[in-house]
């Protein structure tokens, strides 16, 4: 049968040779990637199920999407575990540990304990096994004595006085991640570490209040705005209250 007019004949081999359109990923590399990340951010910003820092806040949503893509995590999980403590972003310790355990390069984090519980020599060291080499990797040793020397236990509302075991584990895990897999933490501290930097007390409404002297001693601009990690609203220092 003769081919119909204006019909182009082809075969399977020719179809295979045709160039395929490259998939577009969210990011800042080109206009298409940037438009895609903004579309996703607008959707998340319009949701009431995301944390308050992101509701109707397109820039924050774009940042969260970018960070989620860089570490291969779910955007909503990143939003629920990235906090702003006194104007500085930080991961929750649980999220950092979970990201390390799920990255596929290491075994799950484990801990080595030494010293006497409740004493200054009580210490914790995090470790894991690198799957590719079978090598055991260990993080720095964190002790109660170190916490006291660094002044972590002297901050207002410090959890080092009430739940020292958990704080030792959190700090040991965070330091192992930053020394052996810094790309997971992306250079950010945990919220627990950020709280230890400032002499901050949690108020009855869930916000944190810091003194001007505390900000100066931590090397922070005393005129900088302090932001509550719960709802991203500015917090007055004690000198301003």
Coil, helix or strand at residue 71? helix
DSSP alpha helix (H) spans, the chain: 12-17, 31-45, 58-71, 75-81, 93-102, 144-150, 164-180, 182-185, 191-197, 212-217
Beta-bridge partner residues of 210:
200
pLDDT value of position 119: 95
CA distance 187 to 179: 11
**Structure tokens, 125:** 């060291």
Other C-beta atoms closer than 10 Å to the C-beta of 20 total 6
> How do residues 177-219 score in pLDDT, each as one tens digit?
989 988 888 767 777 777 766 555 555 554 555 555 554 444 4
Q: Are 126 and 221 in the same domain?
A: yes
How many domains is the chain partitioned into structurally? 2
Q: Are 109 and 217 in the same domain?
A: yes
State the pLDDT confidence band at 44, using cuts at 50, 70 and 90. very high
Q: Are 54 and 160 in the same domain?
A: no
Mean pLDDT of 2-6: 54
Mean pLDDT of 143-159: 89
Most confidently predicted of 75-84, 86-95, 145-154, 198-207: 145-154
Q: Are 110 and 206 in the same domain?
A: yes
Mean pLDDT of the residues in the chain:
77
Q: Are 46 and 148 in the same domain?
A: no
Higher pLDDT, 177 or 69: 177
Please report whether residue 87 resides in a domain.
no
For β-strands 226-227 and 110-114, DSSP reports them as unpaired
Per DSSP, 224 falls in state: S
Asked whether the predicted pLDDT for residue 89 surpasses 80, the reply is no
CA distance 104 to 73: 13
Please report whether residue 18 resides in a domain.
no
Please report whether residue 166 resides in a domain.
yes
Entry pTM: 0.62
Q: Are 123 and 222 in the same domain?
A: yes
Q: Are 183 and 64 in the same domain?
A: no
pLDDT value of position 72: 77
| pLDDT more than 90, % of the chain | 34
> How do residues 97-134 score in pLDDT, each as one tens digit?
988 998 889 999 999 999 999 899 999 999 999 999 99
Please report whether residue 88 resides in a domain.
no
**Structure tokens, 241:** 């209250």
| Enclosing domain of residue 50 | 25-72
């Amino acid at each position: 049968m003769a081919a119909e007019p204006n019909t182009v004949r082809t075969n399977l081999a020719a179809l295979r040779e045709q160039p395929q359109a490259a998939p577009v990923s969210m990011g800042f590399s080109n206009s298409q990637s940037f438009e895609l990340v903004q579309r996703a951010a607008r959707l998340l910003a319009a949701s009431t199920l995301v944390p308050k820092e992101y509701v109707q806040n397109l820039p924050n949503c774009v940042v969260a999407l970018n960070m989620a893509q860089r570490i291969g995590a779910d955007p909503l999980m990143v939003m629920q575990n990235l906090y702003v403590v006194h104007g500085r972003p930080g991961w929750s310790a649980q999220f950092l540990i979970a990201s390390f355990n799920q990255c596929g390069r290491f075994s799950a984090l484990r801990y080595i304990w030494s010293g006497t519980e409740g004493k200054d020599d009580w210490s914790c060291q995090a470790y894991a096994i690198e799957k590719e080499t079978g090598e055991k990797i260990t993080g720095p040793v964190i002790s109660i004595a170190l916490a006291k020397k660094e002044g972590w236990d002297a901050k207002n509302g410090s959890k080092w006085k009430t739940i020292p075991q958990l704080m030792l584990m959190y700090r040991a895990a965070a330091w192992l991640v930053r020394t052996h897999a810094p790309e997971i933490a992306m250079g950010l501290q945990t919220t627990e570490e950020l709280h230890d930097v400032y002499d901050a007390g949690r108020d009855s409404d869930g916000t944190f209040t810091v003194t001007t002297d505390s900000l100066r001693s931590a090397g922070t601009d005393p005129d900088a705005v302090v932001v509550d990690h719960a709802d991203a609203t500015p917090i007055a220092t004690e000198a301003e209250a």
